[in-house]
Structure 1
Amino acid sequence: MAGKTVWIVDGAYLYSYGKGRPNGVDYLKLKNELEAATGEAIYESYYLNSTPDPATDAWDGFHTWLKSAPPRGPKMRVQLYKLKDLHLKCPRCENHFDRRVQKGVDVGIATLIIRLAVQGVYDRLILTAGDGDFEDAISYIKSGLHKEFWLNGAQNSLSADLQSYADHVLWLDGMVPAIDK
């Protein structure tokens, strides 16, 4: 299918994958690999994640780099959400634990997938994420709007539910070392 391609990245998912690599993942190199796989330039790219408030200088620098155009950066639109505090109690030991977790990122990704499809911004979506929670949004753009769906992720963390909708699965594992920093 010819047309415009949009790439949407779940930042926490790709960060988690990159932590398992010696130097992490280079988003510009990954974008180049995705463009080579599709045979065309990516029309728009989006990065969604949560960030601490206030963000650190390192995170601010990374997000600025993501927005930078090639050859310097991957030219992505960055949408950041706040972290929320989750208070947990261990049922066995009665200890209390606090943990910071994402708030709103998955809903933001699902909304973006549908909004851009309905607006006719893309004919093909590449989603770098592994979460099966996106299944309803993907099902709608595939069956209701007849969009092409390509899935990008790691073999050990990619939802089978999402794989079942994919026109193509682009395995991160098969792109190494081309996407390494």
Structure 2
Amino acid sequence: MKTVWIVDAAYLYNFGRSRPNGFDYLKLKNELVKANGGPLYESYYLNSTGDPNAEAQNAFHTWIKSAPPKGPQMRVQLYKLKEQHNQCPSCGTRFDRTVQKGVDVAIATLMIKLAAQGIYDRVILSAGDGDFEDAISYLKSDLHKEVWLNGAQATLSADLQCYADRVLWLDDMGSSIDR
């Protein structure tokens, strides 16, 4: 069975921030390989970046592309950040923040495109946003693909969980994925 792993990097980043030592992508991939019962056919890392030339980011992206045993060997797809202008409804204070632009659409498109091309039989999605519900429903109902979710109990949408053939809880992986 060919399995593809697709990562919403912002989702895993937020999970990592909740852990004292963060987590390691290579160790996480090794846990997913064990659960899968064999190697992953392809792995994708999708994220946004504000400064594509930042030295630390470039080093991380080089590492994440690297093959084992050095790195997790993931294909990296980066998108731009956008400025979001906000106003506090209570006090009226204006503030700006940067948010991802296009990553969720890219993940949904990638899942469907690869499935339609027959690239995989099973997808493991490391994401928790309920916005993926329509894409996952289509994968299962129309394209007859197996969908595994990989997420945290506190942040994995029930709208996705109800479609999952299996949920691989990050919380249960504990020290085996710690940095």
So what's the TM-score if we normalise by structure 1? 0.97
C-alpha distance in structure 2 between counterparts of 1:55 and 1:99, whole Å: 20
Instruction: List per-residue Cα deviations over 1:12-67 (Å, max 9, x = no partner).
Output: 00000001111211001000000101101000000001011244211111111110
**3-state secondary structure, aligned to 1:22:** coil
Deviant stretches of 4+, over 6 Å: none
Flag the 1:46–1:83 CA change in 2: closer, same or farther, 3 A.
same
C-alpha distance in structure 2 between counterparts of 1:88 and 1:124, whole Å: 39
C-alpha distance in structure 2 between counterparts of 1:161 and 1:106, whole Å: 15
Q: Which residue of 2 aligns with 1:38?
A: 36
Q: Which residue of 1 aligns with 2:170?
A: 172
C-alpha distance in structure 1 between counterparts of 2:90 and 2:8, whole Å: 34
Q: Which residue of 2 aligns with 1:101?
A: 99
Residue 95 of structure 1 deviates from its aligned partner by 1.9
CA RMSD of aligned residues (A): 0.9
Q: Which amino acid aligns with 2:18?
A: G
C-alpha distance in structure 1 between counterparts of 2:18 and 2:176, whole Å: 15
**1:53-132 maps to which residues of 2 (within 5 A)?**
53-132=51-130
So what's the TM-score if we normalise by structure 2? 0.98
C-alpha distance in structure 1 between counterparts of 2:38 and 2:90, whole Å: 55
Q: Which of 47, 50, 63 is the equivalent residue of 1:49?
A: 47
Structure 2: gaps (5+ residues): none
C-alpha distance in structure 1 between counterparts of 2:132 and 2:68, whole Å: 29
**3-state secondary structure, aligned to 2:177:** coil
**3-state secondary structure, aligned to 2:11:** helix
The number of equivalent residue pairs is 179
C-alpha distance in structure 1 between counterparts of 2:164 and 2:92, whole Å: 44
**3-state secondary structure, aligned to 1:178:** helix
- Counterpart check, 1:16 vs 2:5: no
Structure 1: gaps (5+ residues): none
Residue 89 of structure 1 deviates from its aligned partner by 1.7
Q: Which of 2, 5, 17 is the equivalent residue of 1:4?
A: 2
